[in-house]
Amino acid sequence: MAKKIVTMGELLLRLTTPGHSRFTQARSFDAIYGGAEANVAVFLANMGMDSYFLTRLPENEIGQSAVNFLRSYGVKTDYIVRGGERLGIYFLEKGTSTRPSKVVYDRKHSSICDINAEKINFDEVFKDADWFHLSGITPALGEKCITLVEKATDYAKKKGIRISVDLNYRNKLWDYPDFEKVMVNIIKDVDVCFGWINSEEDKEYSVADFAKQGVELDNFKNIFSNMQKRFNIKYVVTTLRENYSATHNAMSALIYDGNELYQSKKYDFTIEDRVGAGDAFAAGLVYKLVNGANSRDALEFATASAVLKHTVEGDFNLCSEDEIMAVAGGNTSGSVQR
Amino acid sequence: MAKKIVTMGELLLRLTTPGHSRFTQARSFDAIYGGAEANVAVFLANMGMDSYFLTRLPENEIGQSAVNFLRSYGVKTDYIVRGGERLGIYFLEKGTSTRPSKVVYDRKHSSICDINAEKINFDEVFKDADWFHLSGITPALGEKCITLVEKATDYAKKKGIRISVDLNYRNKLWDYPDFEKVMVNIIKDVDVCFGWINSEEDKEYSVADFAKQGVELDNFKNIFSNMQKRFNIKYVVTTLRENYSATHNAMSALIYDGNELYQSKKYDFTIEDRVGAGDAFAAGLVYKLVNGANSRDALEFATASAVLKHTVEGDFNLCSEDEIMAVAGGNTSGSVQR
Amino acid sequence: MAKKIVTMGELLLRLTTPGHSRFTQARSFDAIYGGAEANVAVFLANMGMDSYFLTRLPENEIGQSAVNFLRSYGVKTDYIVRGGERLGIYFLEKGTSTRPSKVVYDRKHSSICDINAEKINFDEVFKDADWFHLSGITPALGEKCITLVEKATDYAKKKGIRISVDLNYRNKLWDYPDFEKVMVNIIKDVDVCFGWINSEEDKEYSVADFAKQGVELDNFKNIFSNMQKRFNIKYVVTTLRENYSATHNAMSALIYDGNELYQSKKYDFTIEDRVGAGDAFAAGLVYKLVNGANSRDALEFATASAVLKHTVEGDFNLCSEDEIMAVAGGNTSGSVQR
Amino acid sequence: MAKKIVTMGELLLRLTTPGHSRFTQARSFDAIYGGAEANVAVFLANMGMDSYFLTRLPENEIGQSAVNFLRSYGVKTDYIVRGGERLGIYFLEKGTSTRPSKVVYDRKHSSICDINAEKINFDEVFKDADWFHLSGITPALGEKCITLVEKATDYAKKKGIRISVDLNYRNKLWDYPDFEKVMVNIIKDVDVCFGWINSEEDKEYSVADFAKQGVELDNFKNIFSNMQKRFNIKYVVTTLRENYSATHNAMSALIYDGNELYQSKKYDFTIEDRVGAGDAFAAGLVYKLVNGANSRDALEFATASAVLKHTVEGDFNLCSEDEIMAVAGGNTSGSVQR
Amino acid sequence: MAKKIVTMGELLLRLTTPGHSRFTQARSFDAIYGGAEANVAVFLANMGMDSYFLTRLPENEIGQSAVNFLRSYGVKTDYIVRGGERLGIYFLEKGTSTRPSKVVYDRKHSSICDINAEKINFDEVFKDADWFHLSGITPALGEKCITLVEKATDYAKKKGIRISVDLNYRNKLWDYPDFEKVMVNIIKDVDVCFGWINSEEDKEYSVADFAKQGVELDNFKNIFSNMQKRFNIKYVVTTLRENYSATHNAMSALIYDGNELYQSKKYDFTIEDRVGAGDAFAAGLVYKLVNGANSRDALEFATASAVLKHTVEGDFNLCSEDEIMAVAGGNTSGSVQR
Amino acid sequence: MAKKIVTMGELLLRLTTPGHSRFTQARSFDAIYGGAEANVAVFLANMGMDSYFLTRLPENEIGQSAVNFLRSYGVKTDYIVRGGERLGIYFLEKGTSTRPSKVVYDRKHSSICDINAEKINFDEVFKDADWFHLSGITPALGEKCITLVEKATDYAKKKGIRISVDLNYRNKLWDYPDFEKVMVNIIKDVDVCFGWINSEEDKEYSVADFAKQGVELDNFKNIFSNMQKRFNIKYVVTTLRENYSATHNAMSALIYDGNELYQSKKYDFTIEDRVGAGDAFAAGLVYKLVNGANSRDALEFATASAVLKHTVEGDFNLCSEDEIMAVAGGNTSGSVQR
């Protein structure tokens, strides 16, 4: 039977300019709905999991369109609560070559910011759940969201549900000290932490979504080992990315299992849409771990998932397990599949 | 020399679903920038006026895109101030036949809501100005906007600049008593008031953007005459609209000059985009009055402008003076112009 | 608690030329997925029903896209079986004014044609079901589909589930005698029959999707009364359509309850997309009847649903209950909903 | 065996703004290739005729695209000569309701203006030809085009090929006296003249593409009878159009056979694209006459062809003979053709 | 005088998702018509050849659209027969970087499968023909297609018409032994065979559309020499492709003339659309050989043609002879041509 | 206070095929307005300069659309004169990989060709101007344009306004000797000359828009030094481009200040749209020099501007000063800007 996985976070409307056109050139925006945790939920549904997404959306047609978008990919939306002022928005302009992609956020005052955690029926949400995934973005959205995250993780930990947290520190959303203060409680005793907290250490290794390639693996081993001990985390994980240009990157990933630091294969690729690559990585790892894979196989799958995400327009990795396994297995030749 | 006209109000991003598709069907939105007063400013620039628009826009690319959009049509954007949180948005789904158009507002917390009227250099703004146009939407946006409107109208009145006010009461934005309390001060001693305030009267004639056709003209004459006396307004004006369906309407208009009530020709037409028709009407009237036309000619021009607006996609009436004059002159045959 | 409704039939890929362009002009096709019964299922899900759709789809990405499309609108796809050769297709060119719409079918050899009714777990499908809806198109698809329909209706009848059948006779799919031979067994003892079987009678009243306006109601009463008695049907229903042009029609509807023939209001409207109007009618009637409405209210709702469908691009009526009630209540003025 | 018909004239690039948007709103243009005579040629090819089009096009990819466009519809392009400066262009903005369509011409200096009639091998062009069609636009393009038209018509007359001339007077292209001086020679002894020359008569009946409905038929009979006698023309023909708006017209047509004036059925219709309706009329008439129909049947077919053209985007009437016959036969109900 | 070349095969509707979007994301498909042999026919027409394409298409508008598409590029469609059930379809999703392109076939039961070879007038088809080109796909479509191919090649061989066969083995269409049994008769005594049959040999060299770069040329020479002797083929030819990713490949080609194995220049390039590259290669070779080029020049031209095809959207190589010669001559710098 | 810069030249309508499609495939063209000098004017307005553009445009909606397009980006259009026959057009097909981009010009007989320099009020145009920029394209458009350029440069020189000239020799527009004869007078005593005149020297170094990388810098120093002395030019400048393919180039640039030859950083990049890169270079240099930067900083900025232009669709470099400074500062990693 398919595993039940609960993912929680904000769902946003993404408005992207056509092709690589700049904001001032756009006479239309492509519209999709996504967000760090929703991207994970879609991937898991796509892998056949019983994937539930928990958020709060306004009671209007824009909120309903967001629900429909997730449902289309098989995500279960039963736990979504409705109400509040608006759906958060982000505007995206996709860069190319020497010009970076650009995001303009318009996500303040969104419905989830006012969520009342008391009204969530966590008994029902976590009933028979196998895994709970969340990210460090949600508590950055304000007091009510911190309460939500704390209540949810407390509940899940008590019930013995496995948990993964993607730190996803965004300096535009909150300051590092606030971030650290909140997150240290959340990541305690979880199964997987994507990224690390390292304020005491050298700045180069402070928390980051994606570390740069070429850094010393020994340093990582040291930091991850400290994380692991300090917070009792089973796996500390990160991707390593090299940015050659807005449309040409390389990527590998690291996993530390409390014992060894393992580095995945490294891939070189061009980019159609890089938003959500980190989420595709997290989702790939969770999918494999919840289904019993060992950490190395899970990492290779997760890395291939992240790499393939770059080829798919939108926030989601819509590739199949077979497609990801093929890339993880070394076939990146791109021969036509007839 | 072209007249200098200052228009003040909010500028919004309008996101429209393609064709007549519903919100849940949209995978893209057509993006334009408009708003009741901006629509007036564009029309006046199009007529060759020295048309200045005053608003506050965020310091990001979306705000800049709004500036560029207005500039494109010749509006002078020198007095626009930048800052604040976000650009207000409204989502539009254009109806057809028995299905009405639908608007979802996402305009709260927009940059103009926090505008500091002290920082506007009204000396410069109104220097050599011939006319000032505003609407009842702006004071509905909060205390700071009420202050803005009061300061601006006071200044303009003191300088002897002619003023037009489009009441534009929107019950989603504020309650009628609040509306009345604020607006009675603003419309005092102005040249033109679009719509009327009539809380003491029979409900059918309480303020409305567009009155229904077929009502008794005597009633209007009575109401407008009261308005005229109570507030010392030169012209009280309204359009009369009949809604046969979302894509088929008829329209005429009324002007009261303190003496007589004059009704324009009535037009029957199909609809491409009805947003901004009232603004095209107001703009047409202001354009003719500021350039010395008599009230009847001005009304006929304004009505033809409103009617033609329904044929133009977007918020603006992009028709030329010749085109409007032709329709006002009775040519609605639509023969190809080669 | 929401009623569980099971709908069964074929799901097709609809490829429509852009705008009103002709087939030979098209360089792209708009792609949606629909079909007479699926259209009913989507409407019912949209109304908040527990709406299950049963069909067979190929095990490829085109089949999966069809699943996703239904899921997006909240239809439950758990009972869909996968396998077979291909997804049926129909090409559509939307006419306008004096030029009719045109359909080119490419639906032969589709997956449902080879369906093995033995493999359907009807116990599960009909568990706690309140209603079962099907149409006369499915048995027209071949022997295996006849078996499927017979087994399903037998099962449902035995379980006391209420049933509605839309006769939907298509002379391109089968001959009238074959149609009659199969359908007489299926419509026995059902709750609702859309259309009538009347081979013994005068040709003008032989079965039809939509009868012409202006025919004698007495004739209808006579035919429907015979139907009712011969097959023990609770309600015999039909729409009456007048075709003024490809984009201008009028419509009303009739219901016979074994006693009286009731005619709905008549609507005059223009057309965005007329495919699925009959399905919107059937769905509206089923929705109201399953929730306890009387036959007249149900008919008025169903007629308004059919009329509104003509304003929505695609096969589905995506209007809300409020929107349909407004039209049924007489508001077809199309004023903007802000 | 299919009749061979030669059509001669200018082929232009038509750049149309999307939907009904105005020129200043367009960020793209829909691109097709057409022109009064080419539109006739395409219709005739569509009807299965051996349809040859003669023109001159530049030796670049834009010229080649024009050739490909005609070939696509089965027109034979063997006699097209290449060379000269440029392809003529016209920009089109399609009006709606009270706003007329607008054409901006950019057709000067086009390749055909410099055509050298000496280099055309008329022996080959007219070998086994059954009909030759041309219009009054070509001689308006300058001296070389007058020579071309005179040589071609002289040749065709000498060979006994039947000829039709669409007068198509355009006052932007030349003055009426010049027009008359050139055209009187050309229309002498032809089979069909679309429009009439009437400088001596009352202004209302001076030459026009489309006469207004409601004029006295006796006046037409008089004028046409004079035409017929003065120039020895077999049939004098015209359409009668009523313009209610840019998107709503009515149309009928007249034919005078030297004896009687016959008026076709009158149609009321909405408009998708009215460019080329007159050409669809001419083409319909030529098609029927060259294949032996009597003048009344030909007129009814031609009128239905013109009416249906208004439903097709672009310059061409892409409807089939069956579709036109259905409309001519009275079926304008627009019921879906499955 | 231009050479007459006859090409025979299936013509399909290709439905491609927009950009690089996945099937489940597509709300529209770009529609073109192509197929291995039709792609060759279009190229040859583009080069100025008298290029005839022989196939069978359904008698509906989709079939007619396919005819129009070929005609547009100058292909002569006189020998196309009409009838049968449907036009074959293939759905295409274009990959990028590490994600391969994907094809979903829906080509069964297409009109050509039921073709009656007796009804083809081969006397007319091959009258004055200089070359006949076909591929191994056609006989894979069933018994009637095998008969068609056998009759056609027998006829052409008897008349001394030069023949080229592109083996194009597709394992989804038939098994290798069936393929070999049928093809050995067809390729006997032809001028050119693209690909090779090698069941007795080592698996790596069994038949393939495109061999991998880097294999031993000696092995090829051996295999081709055997082919040449066994079947009396003048030229055995293949392309060699290296797949770095879905959008980055390298390519060269080999020709064996019975004496020497010659390898073309090798090109490194990015990919817009790789469908039809092999057909562009075949077409380039046929074009040069039928016009008397030596095998090396022909190979270089063919390879440059294949390489350039990757830059053109759709199935066809729409580049001119000059453009191909420039690339074959070493100019791949891509400087703007003004 | 912002510097006033006057730019003069032709403004054209650019019609580009969608994506990388070929001319014969296009059913629409993307429409923008640009030209060598207008591109400079837009960049300077974008940088906050008081940027005036002087040209002549036809009095029709196409001309007006061109005005609106420039205004949108903040260019001041007050000095534009209206009249003449037509707006020049160029058709563009963007190449990719081994296939070059292609331009088809249709710019003859454009409005500027007939400009009457007497009617330009140069007193007003150059009042308080800080810089005047023009190119060698304008005098290539005919006698009246030569007069225009001579009068304008004479006036500017007399007034002590700094001048930059982009030689922009186009061999399709005029012969080299004519070019040289006209330009030698214009470039005398200017501040900046882009490109060089070198007819007496070795052919490889004759005038060119972009020199090839890898040439001997000593040769350049020699040529530029001669230029500098012969014409009394402050800075002689050029870009050096390497064309690897239509979508992959490298670029650096050279500036000679009368003393030293300085070479900028070299960039390697992929290409979205290369039209206007040279103009972005010129504009970047002018912007920095007019604001007092030293020549090396100006060159680095200009080169980064040119490189970034390749990432922007259309003729204009729409990047901000910060974005260009980042690239000039070495950050070409393309990391997402949130």
Q: Is residue C324 part of a domain?
A: yes
Mutate to test the interface with E, among A70, A244, A270, A323 (most CBs of E within 10 A): A270
Q: Is residue F62 part of a domain?
A: yes
| Cβ-nearest to F319 among A99, A105, A275 | A99
Lowest mean pLDDT across B175-184, D128-137, E274-283: B175-184
| D71 vs E contacts (CB less than 8 Å) | 71-74
**pLDDT value at residue D210:** 47
CB < 8 Å & 24+ apart, contacts of E224-232: E224/E196, E224/E254, E224/E256, E224/E261, E225/E256, E225/E258, E226/E198, E227/E193, E227/E196, E227/E197, E227/E198, E227/E256, E228/E256, E228/E258, E231/E184, E231/E187, E231/E188, E231/E189, E231/E190, E231/E193, E232/E188, E232/E189
Please name the residue of chain C whose CA is at the shortest distance from the CA of residue E30. Answer: C28
User: How deeply is F24 buried, as exposed, middle or buried, from its count of CB atoms within 10 A (0-12, 13-18, 19+)?
Assistant: buried
Touching check for A72 and chain C: CB below 8 Å? yes
CA distance E120 to F237: 69
Touching check for D98 and chain B: CB below 8 Å? yes
Does the pLDDT value for residue C201 go beyond 80?
Answer: no
| E72 vs D contacts (CB less than 8 Å) | 68-69, 71-72
Residues with pLDDT less than 50, chain A? 201-202, 209-210
Mean pLDDT of D239-259: 95
**pLDDT value at residue F333:** 85
| Cβ-nearest to A24 among F269, F318, F333 | F318
A16: closest CA of chain B, how far (Å)? 9
- Give the model's confidence band at B252: pLDDT under 50 very low, under 70 low, under 90 confident, else very high: very high
Across the B/F interface, how many CB contacts are shorter than 8 Å? Answer: 16
Q: What six digits make up the tokens of C64?
A: 């999966």
Mean pLDDT of E156-179: 93
Mutate to test the interface with B, among D20, D27, D93, D97 (most CBs of B within 10 A): D97
**What CATH number is given to the structural domain containing D49?**
3.40.1190.20
Sequence-distant (6+) residues with CB within 8 A of C161 are C6, C126, C129, C130, C131, C132
Give the tens place of pLDDT for each residue, E34-90. Answer: 999 999 999 999 999 999 999 999 999 999 999 999 999 999 999 999 999 999 999
| Cβ-nearest to C98 among D73, D318, D327 | D327
Subunits in contact with chain D (3 or more CB pairs closer than 8 Å)? B, C, E, F
Give the tens place of pLDDT for each residue, C137-194. Answer: 999 999 999 999 999 999 999 999 999 999 998 888 888 889 999 999 999 999 999 9
Positive or negative torsion for Cα F123, F125, F128, F130:
negative
Mean pLDDT of D169-192: 92
Q: Across chain D, what does the average pLDDT equal?
A: 94
Report the share of chain C in percent with pLDDT over 70. Answer: 95
- Report the alpha-carbon angle B127-B131-B137, nearest 5: 110
Contact D72 E72 (CB under 8 A): yes
Contact D264, D271 (CB under 8 A): no
CA distances from E119 to C231, E150, E151, E231 (A): 52, 14, 11, 30
Please name the residue of chain F whose CA is at the shortest distance from the CA of residue E323. Answer: F99
- Give the model's confidence band at E210: pLDDT under 50 very low, under 70 low, under 90 confident, else very high: very low
CA torsion angle for F163, F164, F169, F173 (degrees, to 10)?
A: -50
Contact B318 D25 (CB under 8 A): yes
Please name the residue of chain F whose CA is at the shortest distance from the CA of residue D314. Answer: F27
Percentages (nearest 5) of helix, strand, coil residues in chain B: 35, 25, 40
pLDDT in tens, chain F (338 residues): 899 999 999 999 999 999 999 999 999 999 999 999 999 999 999 999 999 999 999 999 999 999 999 999 999 999 999 999 999 999 999 999 999 999 999 999 999 999 999 999 999 999 999 999 999 999 999 999 999 999 999 999 999 999 999 999 988 888 888 999 999 999 999 999 999 887 554 455 555 544 555 568 888 899 999 999 999 999 999 999 999 999 999 999 999 999 999 999 999 999 999 999 999 999 999 999 999 999 999 999 999 999 999 999 999 999 999 999 999 999 888 888 87
Mutate to test the interface with F, among A97, A247, A309 (most CBs of F within 10 A): A97
**pLDDT value at residue D209:** 46
Please name the residue of chain B whose CA is at the shortest distance from the CA of residue F78. Answer: B74
Q: Across chain A, what does the average pLDDT equal?
A: 94
Contact D23 F62 (CB under 8 A): yes
Contact F132, F163 (CB under 8 A): yes
**pLDDT value at residue F79:** 97
Contact A71 C69 (CB under 8 A): no
Q: Whose structure tokens read 């039963």?
A: A78
Subunits in contact with chain A (3 or more CB pairs closer than 8 Å)? B, C, E, F
Q: Look at strands D81-82 and D56-57 and give their pairing.
A: parallel
| F337 vs A contacts (CB less than 8 Å) | 100-103
Q: Is the ipTM of this complex over 0.85?
A: yes
Into how many domains does chain E fold? 1
Neighbours of B216 (CB within 10 A): 9
Mutate to test the interface with D, among E50, E71, E320 (most CBs of D within 10 A): E71
Q: Whose structure tokens read 């890089």?
A: A274
| Cβ-nearest to C61 among E60, E104, E109 | E104
Domain boundaries, position B307: 4-123+130-328
Mean pLDDT of C41-61: 98
Touching check for B320 and chain A: CB below 8 Å? no
A266: closest CA of chain E, how far (Å)? 13
Give the tens place of pLDDT for each residue, E287-327. Answer: 999 999 999 999 999 999 999 999 999 999 999 999 999 99
Q: Is residue B266 part of a domain?
A: yes
Touching check for F245 and chain A: CB below 8 Å? no
Q: Is residue E336 part of a domain?
A: no
**pLDDT value at residue E219:** 87
Give the tens place of pLDDT for each residue, B54-102. Answer: 999 999 999 999 999 999 999 999 999 999 999 999 999 999 999 999 9
Contact C270 B97 (CB under 8 A): yes
Give the tens place of pLDDT for each residue, D144-162. Answer: 999 999 999 999 999 999 9
Task: Write down the pTM of the prediction.
Answer: 0.96
Touching check for D90 and chain E: CB below 8 Å? no
Contact B71 F69 (CB under 8 A): no
User: How deeply is D151 buried, as exposed, middle or buried, from its count of CB atoms within 10 A (0-12, 13-18, 19+)?
Assistant: middle
Q: Is residue E88 part of a domain?
A: yes
- Give the model's confidence band at E171: pLDDT under 50 very low, under 70 low, under 90 confident, else very high: confident
Concatenate the DSSP letters of all residues of F1-55 into one string. -PPEEEEE---EEEEE-STT--GGG-SEEEEEEE-HHHHHHHHHHHTT-EEEEE-
Please name the residue of chain C whose CA is at the shortest distance from the CA of residue A67. Answer: C72
Contact A22 F271 (CB under 8 A): no
Mutate to test the interface with E, among F97, F174, F243, F269 (most CBs of E within 10 A): F97
Please name the residue of chain F whose CA is at the shortest distance from the CA of residue B70. Answer: F72
Q: Is residue D338 part of a domain?
A: no
Positive or negative torsion for Cα C120, C122, C127, C129:
positive
Q: Is residue A255 part of a domain?
A: yes
Q: Is residue F260 part of a domain?
A: yes
| A105 vs F contacts (CB less than 8 Å) | 338
Subunits in contact with chain E (3 or more CB pairs closer than 8 Å)? A, C, D, F
Contact B9, B36 (CB under 8 A): yes
**pLDDT value at residue F335:** 85
State the alpha helices, DSSP H only, in chain E: 36-46, 61-72, 122-126, 143-158, 176-186, 217-231, 277-290, 295-309, 321-328
Touching check for D126 and chain E: CB below 8 Å? no
Coil, helix or strand at residue A252? strand
| B71 vs F contacts (CB less than 8 Å) | 71-74
- The better pLDDT of the pair F181, B210 is held by F181
